[in-house]
Amino acid sequence: MIQSIHDYILLKKHQKKYSEEKIKKLQFISIKKMIDYAKLNSPFYAEKYKDLSFNDLTDIKKFPIINKSIMMENFSTLNTCGIDKEDVLAYAVEKELNKDYLGYYQGLYVIGLSSGTSGNKGIYITPKKMTKRLPAVFLARSGLSLLDLPMRILFCLRVFSQGFNDINAPMMKLSYLSTMTPPISIIHTLNEKKINILMAPPSLIRFLVPLKNEIKIKLKKIVTYAEVLTLEDKHLFEETFKTKVIEIYQASEGQMASACSKGKLHINEDLVYVELYDENHQEITKPHLVGHQMIVTNLINFAQPLIRYEMNDMIVLDEPCSCGSHFRTIERIIGRRDDLLYFYNLQHEKKYVFPDLFARWIITTSDLIREFQVRQDEIGHIIITIDAPLDFEVLLLEERVHKELEELHLSAKIAIEIKPIQLPKDKNKYKRFITENIDKKEVF
Ligand SMILES: [Zn+2]
């Protein structure tokens, strides 16, 4: 408990009071500690970093970049707990088959499993003592405040894990439901348990919108995570549920960003060190530029050091926030780099369209479109599946997409089908964009 209060106060202090200079100093110290620890305890990093030294924050650029496949290929020598990849993978898969997500591996670690587009599984280790400290992080960085106490939170999770079970305090009651629970049952739980804070992915909340009249309780806040919250969804949820909607941006690799009291997403500069680069590999330090490459160093997880780990996400920074925090702000989470859509222009040059923009065209065409999926199997060819009434006028959507593309001097063949869309049965995130057979290296 004392540890939690200490963590909470410290996290709040970093976010609210630290100057840019102080943040940089804290980041330097944290990265140095992480690198030194990794060199000593991880054979992988010991070898990779043997001729490198870190004496200044800018030195980080001399350190090699890793990614998920490099991390997984070297899993057993990269982690600092001597955990063997095959053993832990067998453990995680068995847990998954039995739908048993509780418990600690070797009594000491929470094991998380994620799968990417290429189908390769990612394994993430969180030490038990760190999961015990998650409630403080959660409270300090979830956009919730002490004013929201007492909290009766309903967490809709794709997969439940011990990490979440550890969040339970006197003023904070948590209930869990799988995201596979039928929407009406979710609403029954909201009513029965008098939930005042709903945490769920946006794709799930969209399914609750048509059932809004069944909700008998008053929500204080909705917190979304796991998927990008579009501005349209945010407005729709605020309007429908008459409550504030905030977002947290987290990944298996770390707690990337969370909303402040103004509802603005700030990078958690004291938990992750984020480097952003443009298309020409120049570092981005100003707002409004698209970060095509996002490199993350987790500053708190020593069990599995992720140092200069390349994410697949693209984000855009924003101006400083009026809340006064010097943590960088995020204007837009564009989505995964894998989700870019490709088209030809009039000169037959390949160009891309950002997935968040394409999503906006679809969502804003009609309220009748409950969910959608976009598939691309060749450049300039798009198949859009929409969950909408069968008599929905698809021509509306077709014309809209053509019109928007024309404004960008792009053309495409568009096919549209109406079909009920189910959220995925497995634990993967719902994917709104699926692109196949397109060589993105060539296009970039
Ligand atoms: Zn702010």
Q: Tell me: the pLDDT tens digits for 222-264?
A: 999 878 888 889 999 999 999 999 988 988 898 899 988 888 9
Averaged confidence pLDDT in the chain: 88
In angstroms, rounded to a whole number, what is the distance separating the alpha carbons of residues 110 and 131?
Answer: 8
pLDDT of the residue at 436: 80
**8 Cα to the center of ligand 1, angstroms:** 17
Strand partners, 6: none
Q: 319 pLDDT exceeds 60?
A: yes
**317 Cα to the center of ligand 1, angstroms:** 13
**239 Cα to the center of ligand 1, angstroms:** 22
Mean pLDDT, range 340-354, rounded to an integer: 92
pLDDT band at 16 (very low <50, low <70, confident <90, very high): confident
**264 Cα to the center of ligand 1, angstroms:** 5
Positive/negative CA dihedral, 195, 201, 207, 210: positive
pLDDT of the residue at 147: 78
Mean pLDDT, range 73-81, rounded to an integer: 97
pLDDT of the residue at 442: 42
**322 Cα to the center of ligand 1, angstroms:** 6
Choices 3.30.519, 3.40.1130, 3.30.300, 3.40.30: CATH for 340-443? 3.30.300
Mean pLDDT, range 291-302, rounded to an integer: 95
pLDDT band at 44 (very low <50, low <70, confident <90, very high): very high
Pairing of strands 197-200, 221-224: parallel
Contacts for 195 with CB less than 8 Å, ≥ 6 apart: 152, 153, 154, 175, 189, 217, 219
**266 Cα to the center of ligand 1, angstroms:** 6
Q: Which two tokens stand for residue 211?
A: 């059932």
Q: 118 pLDDT exceeds 90?
A: no
Q: Which two tokens stand for residue 56?
A: 């200044």
Q: What is the pLDDT of residues 125-139, one digit of tens each?
A: 988 888 777 767 777
232-237 own/partner pairs: CB under 8 Å, 24+ apart: 232/360, 232/363, 232/364, 233/202, 233/205, 233/206, 233/363, 236/206, 236/209, 237/202, 237/205, 237/209
**427 Cα to the center of ligand 1, angstroms:** 32
**137 Cα to the center of ligand 1, angstroms:** 17
pLDDT of the residue at 1: 60
Mean pLDDT, range 272-279, rounded to an integer: 96
**326 Cα to the center of ligand 1, angstroms:** 8
Q: Is residue 224 classed as helix, strand or coil in its secondary structure? A: strand
**14 Cα to the center of ligand 1, angstroms:** 13
Choice among 213-217, 235-239, 343-347, 424-428 with the minimum mean pLDDT: 424-428
- Rg (the chain; Cα; Å): 22
pLDDT of the residue at 163: 61
In angstroms, rounded to a whole number, what is the distance separating the alpha carbons of residues 307 and 52?
Answer: 13
